[in-house]
Structure 1
């Protein structure tokens, strides 16, 4: 028993140390990239997106090397060729990094306040993200739909987190009206996405754990369903799969 306890303590210490190394290097890498890429704020969006892909690739590499955190995909056959709307479970900062790299320069629906972050927020604004004023209600939804249509016209998919915020593994929050508005107005399939990233990289957590995150692309929901049916189907798919993944 004593040996098992000692081994467990060593493992915990090593996990904490590796996470600390990652946090330091990730911060330095991010600061360096933001400084180096400052002139790109005057460049077209494709140049900014290319720089973002470089920063993201480096960040995921650090996560793999320092923490030992990898990823595996399930249901990749459900990824369509044309731009669609992705409704993604949000548990961690990890999925914003991973999906930015995995998908074709997606535009994320995000809260307007993020654009106020110095430097980082400037790059978000210039890269074509869809910022919403969560207090704007009908006007905000109308603008979000218009921005999403413009994004699709550029050949880019749109990613939205239906709950509007990060939640712990196994937990859920009410699905917000934004996803219903986009579904009704855009007339494109919605690909639900489940994951268990919060098991390894929790919300606001300093500690990152080694392992393999699973991200699962579920069968697309075709356009044309009524609002209640769509929301019921979307939530059932995402929550059911995410809880299954969280339980291992």
Structure 2
């Protein structure tokens, strides 16, 4: 591990401990203040990554910040933590194990992170649909990493079934977003190479399309930065 990565880990995770402690307190006092803490923590990662890791962020295309469904490529924990900075109180769908982390799990649950058990089957999907509908009704953007796991550079695993269910149930537009975070940070969010992580915003996909068409369009759009010579590579 390089010195830059060591310094980043010490500064970011040390500072994150303070945010988690504050968030734990606010989780039982004010959800509005908790949301501000989450956003500030997201900005903290952004600033640490730029100042220590030499990694910045750029957005290509127009990124709406409305209460829509956002399907995003997932290569690192970096983009997961970056979501509260990019959106207003996003409801992020993530693996349920994260909610079991002491203190952080309490904060994430109260904030509105939607934890799912990938082996939960139909019952888990029904719970996801119910929670997703409640979040959409509350006017919150819903973030899903439809491939279901952190992909390695160049990988394009198939979409998980949860995306199609949410798309059909919520009946709202989908904004697909490609990400090339693995070019500059590792799977765990530590900096490895200076440069700019790119979010490439794809064409908004309207609701009501046949499942195969919607999935094909989302899959192609979120993997656009995997193509040879793609912008941001």
Shorter chain as denominator, the TM-score bin is over 0.9
Aligned counterpart for 2:150 among listed residues 144, 163, 166: 166
Distance in 1 of aligned mates of 2:86 and 2:224: 23
Distance in 2 of aligned mates of 1:55 and 1:99: 10
User: Are the equivalent residues in 2 in contact too, given 1:170–1:246 (CA < 8 A)?
Assistant: no
Aligned counterpart for 1:142 among listed residues 126, 142, 146: 126
Structure 1 stretches of 5 or more lacking a match?
A: 1-14
Distance in 1 of aligned mates of 2:220 and 2:75: 17
User: Are the equivalent residues in 2 in contact too, given 1:169–1:243 (CA < 8 A)?
Assistant: no
- What is the CA-CA distance between 1:241 and the residue it aligns to? 3.6
Aligned counterpart for 2:29 among listed residues 22, 37, 43: 43
Distance in 2 of aligned mates of 1:35 and 1:138: 35
Structure 2 stretches of 5 or more lacking a match?
A: none
User: Are the equivalent residues in 2 in contact too, given 1:168–1:202 (CA < 8 A)?
Assistant: no
Aligned counterpart for 1:193 among listed residues 158, 162, 177: 177
Q: How many residues align?
A: 232
- What is the CA-CA distance between 1:205 and the residue it aligns to? 6.5
1:178–1:211 CA distance, 2 compared to 1 (3 A): same
Across the aligned residues of Structure 1 and Structure 2, the Cα RMSD in angstroms comes to: 1.8
Partner of 2:55: 69
Give TM-score scaled by structure 2 length. Answer: 0.93
Give the secondary structure class of the aligned counterpart of 2:223: helix
User: Are the equivalent residues in 2 in contact too, given 1:16–1:207 (CA < 8 A)?
Assistant: no
Aligned counterpart for 2:140 among listed residues 126, 144, 156: 156
Give TM-score scaled by structure 1 length. Answer: 0.87
Partner of 2:203: 219
Is 1:22–2:17 an aligned residue pair? no
